[in-house]
Structure 1
Amino acid sequence: MRRFLPSLSALHAFDASVRHLSFTKAAEDMGVTQSGISRQIKNLEDFLGLTLFERAGPKLVLTAEGARYYEEISRLLDKLEDVSIDAVRGRTAQSMLKIGFPPTLMRRWGAAMLTAFASAHPQTWFEVYPCRHDLDFATSELDLAFVRGTGNWSGARSQLLFQEELVVVGAPELLPPEGLSSDEALLDYPLIQNSSRPSLWLHWLRGAGVHYKSRIYGPRLPNFDMILECAVNGMGLAVVPELHVRDELASGTLRLAFDRLQTSGEGFYLCFPQVRMSSTNVRIFRDWFATEFGRRRQFLPPACAAGQR
């Protein structure tokens, strides 16, 4: 029997129309005319016997039936796309090693390490997914992840790589060449704060023994990438993991305000979900990393690497 299926062109038009809630923008997205999109949607509605969109003045609005249909169709289109890509590249996404990396850690540390792995094992394909440091390994599909924490993740085996060490930095034009000469000099600068880790300044001040009794005053930014960009541009002083600022310190675009490292109480870990420890790709990566992490100093923060010379 012939399958009861709408045309793929109609589903493409429906998908684009839902995403843009505009036939005109959907047409621009697909490189067709607006009347072509309208005709495809009309054909789909006739085929299904449903009204998928309604007009609310100049706006396009999904009906309740249209929203329910799209919820299912979008998943099927995503799956169809995945299967098609897998066919082109000759293997399935399920056969690839899935590696989790918080975006800043990936940019500031992970790229060189993964490049070395790709060179050593060109037949082991991997895909990197952004993840949070509070990753739930019980529900995650990742095979392994590099995350910051205290080493306690439910359902995962963790390996400490190195402790997180905090430094205070600022733009060269903002600081004297020798850095700040006294703790009280902090009063003269805005202190850029990380809204996702609001206790970092207090942690550094107390741990480093800095006698600063004023309010911690300054702009609040959501992540280290933004904080470093604003620090480079002279917005104020920032407390950041030394791991994330090594390039700026080496190039001179940022300078240490104090010659003091202070651990945050957390570390960077390589974590393996216990249910995937026996995977062939996981075993390949684990064995390679165990050897290379100890041998290659560029995989370590400068302070750790210096201790291994």
Structure 2
Amino acid sequence: MQAFEAAARTLSFTAAGNELGVTQAAISQRIRLLEDRLGQKLFVRHPRSLSLTPVGRAWLPSIQDAFVRLGEGTSEVFGGTRQERQVTLRTTPVIQQNWLAPRLPAFQRDNPQIGARVVSAIWPDDFGPEGADIEIRYGRGEWSGVEAISLGEEAMLPACSPTLARRIQTPEDLAGQVLLHAVGFAVGWPTWLEQAGVPGLEDRCAAMTCDNQVMTLALASQSGGVALMHRRLLEKRDDLVAPLPLEVPSEEQFWLVRPAKRQPHEEAARLWDWLLECL
């Protein structure tokens, strides 16, 4: 239909192809397929020009009206004229809750004209430059095609509710507790327990495994067990405390990321600079 609208408006398959970024032959093929499906000819092909058939002329206003209404509906739902001033920021839910949520309100107060759209990514495959102006990723920073700035060195330490923390004075006190595991991190409970001098203690603990850190931290805050937590994310929480001081460094870090080959628009650049100031 898009091919028909462009060709009918310009009365040229070549001009329509240039407008839509395809070849003249591709437009001709699409029109032919459309005519076959409708069972009606839409164009009269002259040696050096095109003209619409009566059916084509009658149908064109309906198609154009449909595209107008589609554009209006898209503007209403996704922001319309504000879309150019909106910044899409993609990161994991745990970063959204623990790092972004305490900070973004200040950015909005200082920049009320800029809309921020925050979208979630849980697994490494969820990330990519398409559709996001800025990302906060977790890993070793080994991504191609992006500019990546580390948020700083990271370490893992136990976290639990203040009530449960009163019963944990030494690493041995973890025996019999529920250890909450979040998959996908280089440093897990076996590594931490080994560094704490109690290797294999997890065999004397109950275990619960979740596919994201948001859930392990939610369970820990409700005295449902002890989670391993990034030191950075513990700073803004008052429902979780570190019962033991040992921090195990991780080769993985949080990174501020944006596409390297795409020039950021003004609003995205402003949010990027503001986030860097938060480091």
Task: Say if 1:219 and 1:112 are closer, same or farther in 2 by CA, change over 3 A.
Answer: closer
Could you list the runs of 4 or more consecutive aligned residues of structure 1 that deviate by over 6 angstroms after TM superposition? 76-79
What is the TM-score with the length of structure 2 in the denominator?
A: 0.64
Question: Deviation string for 1:164-197 (max 9, x for gaps)?
Answer: 22111233333436x423x333223221222444
Post-superposition shift, 1:135?
A: 5.3
Partner of 1:256 in structure 2?
242
Partner of 1:268 in structure 2?
254
Partner of 1:83 in structure 2?
75
**C-alpha distance in 2 between matches for 1:133 and 1:221:** 13
Post-superposition shift, 1:262?
A: 1.8
**C-alpha distance in 2 between matches for 1:195 and 1:79:** 42
CA contact (8 A) 1:137 1:154 kept: no
Question: Deviation string for 1:111-157 (max 9, x for gaps)?
Answer: 23222222222223331111246256655211111111111222110
**C-alpha distance in 1 between matches for 2:233 and 2:163:** 21
Match of 1:162, SS state, is coil
Task: Say if 1:135 and 1:112 are closer, same or farther in 2 by CA, change over 3 A.
Answer: farther
**Aligned with 1:212 (options 199, 215, 221):** 199
Q: Please, what is the CA RMSD of the aligned residues?
A: 3.3
Letter in 2 for 1:116: A
2:214 counterpart of 1:225: yes
Task: Say if 1:272 and 1:121 are closer, same or farther in 2 by CA, change over 3 A.
Answer: same
Match of 1:281, SS state, is helix
Which consecutive residues of structure 1, in runs of 5 or more, have no partner in the other structure?
A: 1-47, 49-75, 294-299, 301-309
Which consecutive residues of structure 2, in runs of 5 or more, have no partner in the other structure?
A: 1-37, 39-67
Letter in 2 for 1:261: E
Question: Deviation string for 1:56-76 (max 9, x for gaps)?
Answer: xxxxxxxxxxxxxxxxxxxx9
Partner of 1:98 in structure 2?
88
Deviates more, 1:194-203 or 1:94-103: 194-203
**Aligned with 2:229 (options 226, 240, 245):** 240
**C-alpha distance in 1 between matches for 2:165 and 2:103:** 33
**C-alpha distance in 1 between matches for 2:127 and 2:221:** 36
Letter in 2 for 1:260: L
Deviates more, 1:155-164 or 1:280-289: 280-289
CA contact (8 A) 1:190 1:217 kept: yes
Post-superposition shift, 1:226?
A: 1.8
Question: Deviation string for 1:28-79 (max 9, x for gaps)?
Answer: xxxxxxxxxxxxxxxxxxxx9xxxxxxxxxxxxxxxxxxxxxxxxxxx9987
CA contact (8 A) 2:179 2:207 kept: yes
Question: Deviation string for 1:61-102 (max 9, x for gaps)?
Answer: xxxxxxxxxxxxxxx99876323335xx66153542211121
**Aligned with 1:153 (options 143, 151, 159):** 143
Match of 2:261, SS state, is helix
Letter in 2 for 1:189: Q
Larger RCO, structure (CA 8 Å, separation 6 or more): 2
